[in-house]
Amino acid sequence: MKLTEKLNQSKNTLFSIEILPPLKGKSIQSIYDGIDPLMEFKPAFVDVTYHREEYIYKKREGGYLEKVSMRKRPGTVGICAAIMNKYNVEAVPHIICGGFTREETENALIDLQFLGIDNVLALRGDSIKTEPAFVPEPNGHPYALDLVKQVTDMNQAHYIDNDMKDAAPTNFCIGVAGYPEKHFEAPNMVSDLKFLKQKVDAGAEYIVTQMFFDNTKYFQFVEDCRKHGITVPIIPGLKILSGKKQIVTLPKIFHIDIPQPFYEALETCKDDKEIKAVGIEWCIQQCKELLKANVPCLHFYTMGASEMTKSVAKEIF
């Protein structure tokens, strides 16, 4: 079922989660162990992130370093199929431009359609860590916008090969990312919103935001989107801060702020147990305010912390 149908049918704010595939070599059981405690809150959908290859240096005999390409977290599509089968819940694979030619994307989308997956979150992906800026594959997509266009084309039975006769249309509901605190590469918010609008005009039917800890940023973002003619649902993405290190790493990785009152409360914590308690409480207050504002869904970046997500969901749903 398309997410937009779910969102339209529900009078109440929905609950959803995002999970990461396990590290290569680990069992899928860790995925089930993360989802099981949250099933009582009836997630409307489960997003599964996509992780492209990275380059690592392996020390070889004689001391020289070999540059090796490897995907640390493969399995997005398999996990989606497995959790749909096991839990009867909508799984939403993230699809990215990075590392894919247009043809590989087309083939991947055909696989998803055959598996009965109705929703995709279309993203550009970040640059490979060893590259200073995002580089698309030759004949790949430079922006998420181009990926959205390709999915929309397939939804209209337009495949890369124009000569294809009687091609069946796909029927994907497309989501895209939005950034209440601006995407870090965008020169300013107006420019970022202009490109977000282009993704929606090209066929994106809903937006999921980057995590934020300050609800005023989300409310302002929604207001700005509406002013720019973006009318689709905007689902807030939430992360529960779970350790002292994250006070530094989350702003650095995701280009977001930790609001001063939250920072002050975190600073007084003696250990990660106390940090977790403060993180949970902050997230509960965020959720309560977002619920009052009747947001379409509360989307949790669980990042392996499903017990913490459960502590928040218990207070909210």
The residues binding ligand FAD (CB under 6 A) are 49-50, 52, 94, 96, 123-126, 143-145, 177, 183, 185-186, 191-192, 195, 199, 208, 210, 237
**Minimum distance from residue 136 beta carbon to ligand FAD (Å):** 10
Q: Of the listed 5, 18, 61, 274, which one is catalytic?
A: 18
Q: What does the block give as tokens for 299?
A: 């989307």
Instruction: Please tell me the distance from the alpha carbon of residue 71 to that of residue 73, in angstroms, as a whole number.
Output: 6
Is 315 among the residues known to form the active site?
no
Per-residue b or e along 239-270, where b marks 16 or more CB atoms closer than 10 Å to that residue's CB: bbbbebebbeebeeebebebeeebeebbeebe
Which of 76, 276 has the CB closer to ligand FAD? 76
Q: Which helix (H) or strand (E) holds 178?
A: strand 173-178
The DSSP call for residue 38 is G
Which of 275, 283 has the CB closer to ligand FAD? 283
The DSSP call for residue 62 is G
Instruction: Please tell me the distance from the alpha carbon of residue 53 to that of residue 99, in angstroms, as a whole number.
Output: 8
| Beta bridge partner(s), residue 47 | 18, 92
**Minimum distance from residue 63 beta carbon to ligand FAD (Å):** 33
Which of 87, 195 has the CB closer to ligand FAD? 195
**Minimum distance from residue 211 beta carbon to ligand FAD (Å):** 8
Instruction: Please tell me the distance from the alpha carbon of residue 246 to that of residue 248, in angstroms, as a whole number.
Output: 5
Which of 182, 276 has the CB closer to ligand FAD? 182
Question: Catalytic amino acids?
Answer: 18
